[in-house]
Structure 1
């Protein structure tokens, strides 16, 4: 089975972080988002990956994937030159997939449980051509939605409907046995210019086309997922992933306190500071006279005299506060 990961999106919801890197290359809990995805796929036994890339920063994805995971995956990198939606992105992978079964996962989604769990759930379904990870949500109109018949098969799929047919939201992971049927459906949409929500070619609409032409689709449950394309859920995913890791040592620690869990890259220097919990520090970070909690700090960033919480600091950024000298009396209540 091959993995298909669309990575050509511009990541506008993560600006300014994604002005200089693809969103899949934003680092959380020790590695880029893409690294967490590929590590989980490798654990599930997948060893071929089709990464759909695009835009001027795609080289970062190619180089990282081949450098860090070249021994675990055979990679191909089809290019989406003109982004026209998720369905259009997946369509670019057709020659590389070449009729084989695929697991499709979005390049900005992380899941609390690994892909092996999803593949096992898919294999437990009888006679399906594809299956879709779903979760019940309170506001299904914000998502792609699946309506399921009494026998468990998918009856209808619709993207961000005003009047949702169910509360089962599509979670962003798909397993497709009959990939030829999927790519035929995508080609039908594109050849006939049948654009869906956002005036784009939607994967949801292609899956609906599969249902209409006789394919049998099933579903499996996804307990929790994290949309790392938004700052607040990026920080939430960082916290969840750090909880399963051991705090590592810093390159230099001077009168500093580390409150687990914290992930530190190479060459990190902490001086007269308190860092943690739930902090991810990339290589070369320097923090002086500061308190940092629940945050992500990029490579070679410098923080001095700041008190940060729930923050994202980009690579090589410098953040300086203003040092204060205080003489505070008994029973004082002071906020700074």
Structure 2
């Protein structure tokens, strides 16, 4: 079995962060989100992985992941070009898949439970496809699956006004090779995209069996800033203490809860850190770091209070305003200016940004 991770798309809902890099490299607990997908595949015994790249700085993904050997996998890069739908992305992997069954995994998804049980037995089964589903409160926001009494999927509807079930498609799929024939038969949707739900429905209409697997635990699609912060919180809930022997913890520092601190990071006297918190390497921290905060490498936080936030890295935060529930891109700088006149706030704000003062 092979793995196919989708890492195209423009990530418009995460702008301005995605003006400078793919959304799949945004870190969750200081680890790029796409790495969670790679680790899930590897842990399920799938080490031959194709990554579908789009037009939003694909070289950054290649540079971050290399050939995959660092993570125990073998990576092949596949160019999709302009995104034309999930089914179009799947079709670009046909030569890579080369007749094998495969997992298609959206590269901005995070799943608590992993996929080992999901893939188990699929190769030997009668099923043409198996879909990962989860119960959701408002299925009108998702692709929704309708099941028969045997757990087979009999119908798929994208964002139905009157859903017949509360089972949403998670964004992780198992396919056998006949999915490519189904993709060849479908037409672009009203969005002018080839929809993977239409291709799966084509399988169902041809009387091929499509299995379901309802996932337990949480699942997050990190497509929006609030989703990224939620995923960060969920991952941080699972961390263990890990303070590098090469970190410097000065006197009069209070550490509470589960905390990870990287090498060559200095926690200065008077600092209070309440976990769960992850702090990267080569950082300087003095102030208050509250729960559910991830701080990337080479960041300086001085005389600042921050919680429930992600600082991607290489940043300077020196502010007398408390920072909370924030997603700060690489090379960010937040400073207090009490000396300049006239008094005011000066900003460089990207598209779709929110500022609260």
Q: TM-score, normalised by structure 2?
A: 0.84
Paired residue secondary structure (2:66): helix
Structure 2 match to 1:218: 211
Task: Using the TM superposition, give the Cα deviation of residue 80 of structure 1 relative to its aligned residue in structure 2, in angstroms.
Answer: 1.1
* Greater Cα shift, 62-71 or 308-317: 62-71
* Greater Cα shift, 286-295 or 145-154: 145-154
Equivalent residue runs for 1:30-179 within 5 Å: 30-66=30-66, 69-70=69-70, 72-120=72-120, 123=122, 127-176=126-175, 178=176
Alignment pair present for 1:291 and 2:290: no
Question: How far apart, in 1, do the equivalents of 2:193 and 2:70 lie?
Answer: 33
* Greater Cα shift, 234-243 or 152-161: 152-161
Over residues 142-198 of structure 1, what are the superposed CA-to-partner deviations in whole Å (9 max), with x where a residue is unaligned? 21111111222111112223333322211111112x2x2111111222xxxx12253
Question: How far apart, in 1, do the equivalents of 2:295 and 2:69 lie?
Answer: 22
- Stretches of structure 1 lacking an aligned partner (at least 5 in a row): 325-335
Paired residue secondary structure (2:42): helix
Residues 159 and 197 in structure 1, CA contact (< 8 A), matched pair in contact too: no
Structure 2 match to 1:311: 326
Question: How far apart, in 2, do the equivalents of 1:67 and 1:123 lie?
Answer: 27
Over residues 59-95 of structure 1, what are the superposed CA-to-partner deviations in whole Å (9 max), with x where a residue is unaligned? 1111222266456222111111121111111111111
Structure 1 match to 2:184: 187
Residues 11 and 22 in structure 1, CA contact (< 8 A), matched pair in contact too: yes
Task: Using the TM superposition, give the Cα deviation of residue 114 of structure 1 relative to its aligned residue in structure 2, in angstroms.
Answer: 1.0
Change (3 A) 1:68 1:312: farther
Task: Using the TM superposition, give the Cα deviation of residue 317 of structure 1 relative to its aligned residue in structure 2, in angstroms.
Answer: 0.8
Structure 1 match to 2:231: 237
1:196 to 185, 189, 193: 189
Residues 133 and 172 in structure 1, CA contact (< 8 A), matched pair in contact too: yes
Residues 160 and 197 in structure 1, CA contact (< 8 A), matched pair in contact too: no
1:267 to 282, 294, 307: 282
Structure 2 match to 1:249: 261
Change (3 A) 1:253 1:71: closer
Structure 2 match to 1:327: none
Question: How far apart, in 1, do the equivalents of 2:15 and 2:69 lie?
Answer: 27
Paired residue secondary structure (2:100): coil
Structure 1 match to 2:251: none
How many corresponding residue pairs? 317
- Stretches of structure 2 lacking an aligned partner (at least 5 in a row): 241-258, 340-356
Structure 2 match to 1:11: 11
2:198 to 196, 205, 210: 205
Alignment pair present for 1:320 and 2:335: yes
